[in-house]
Amino acid sequence: MSRSDWRAHDWRLIHAAPQPPLLHMALDEALLDAVGSGRRQPTLRLWEWAAPAVVIGRFQSLRNEVDGDAAQRHGIEVVRRISGGGAMFIEPGNTITYSIYTPLAMVEGLSFQESYALMDSWVLEALRELGIEAWYQPLNDIASNAGKIGGAAQTRRGGALLHHVTMAYDIDAAKMLDVLRIGREKLSDKGTASAAKRVDPLRSQTGLPREVVVERMLATFRRLHGLTDDQLRDHELAQAQALVRDKFGTAAWLADVP
């Protein structure tokens, strides 16, 4: 099987109204399976958040990463996603998060670094058009001269690739540091003692409202790769809701790595 090109696919866009954090976790699994089994075309899903959340990576220790008392005090839900990588601190309107679900054929024969670079390429072009020189910084960051802009994570299953990205639009760094336990070892090769300084959000870099940044990003994807507006099917939503009930919403999943 030879590698497929972006243009070989009929890309679909899902950009639904704000949804709760657990449903986002479940939608990633449901839509990855749908694309893997050929029931859905390759899809770009733009997330809108209905509530604040800390999203921890598949293999992160719940206790080591999150100050549970602080999260509760701030009314922040803690959820675990299906991909590896680090914790994300989310407040509605403060991040731009999206998922790409595509057949594995698109990254056939590529190394992990090459597949991150490929999947990030359109958003780097979008940022360039917004006046931000940004690049893919291995292993999984999106960075600019001013600092880290976002991070990506991938997971593969059932013949499909999930590549999802969270970029900081604006950030309450004090609250983030209150809730996330960011250890010294983690910062050892980052060249700064302040985790807050590691992130430079899109708001300060573009001066544009979040909605405009999102619209510009989608326009870039549409121009480069083609993009047809789509929506969640009823059965996809039902499957995701079942996954919230049976998996993502359970204590067993959240504390799977205690």
Map the footprint of other proteins across residues 140-169, applying CB under 8 A: 140, 153-157
Per the DSSP assignment, residues forming a β-bridge with 154 are: 163
Closer Cβ to other proteins, 61 or 231, answer by number:
61
Closer Cβ to other proteins, 102 or 220, answer by number:
102
**Cα–Cα nearest to 4, from 227, 157, 161, 155:** 161
Q: Please, what is the minimum distance in Å from the beta carbon of residue 18 to other proteins?
A: 27
What's at 232, amino acid-wise?
L
* Region from 160-168, 178-186, 221-229, 237-245 binding other proteins, contact rule CB under 8 A: 178-186
Q: Please, what is the minimum distance in Å from the beta carbon of residue 188 to other proteins?
A: 6
DSSP SS3 for 224: helix
Among 138, 191, 234, 251, binds other proteins (CB under 8 A): 138
Q: Provide the sign of the torsion angle of the four alpha carbons 100, 103, 109, 112, taken in this order.
A: positive
Map the footprint of other proteins across residues 18-37, applying CB under 8 A: none
Map the footprint of other proteins across residues 87-106, applying CB under 8 A: 87
Verify binding: residue 64, other proteins, rule CB under 8 A: yes
Among 5, 18, 112, 158, binds other proteins (CB under 8 A): 112
Peptide bond into 139 cis (omega under 30): yes
**Integer Cα distance of 166 and 153 in angstroms:** 9
107: DSSP letter: G
What strand order describes the sheet that includes 53-56? 77-80, 53-56, 88-90
Among 36, 42, 57, 103, binds other proteins (CB under 8 A): 57
Is-contact 136 117, C-beta < 8 A? yes
The site for other proteins (CB under 8 A) is made up of 57-61, 64, 82-87, 112, 138-140, 153-157, 183, 185-186, 188-189, 257-258
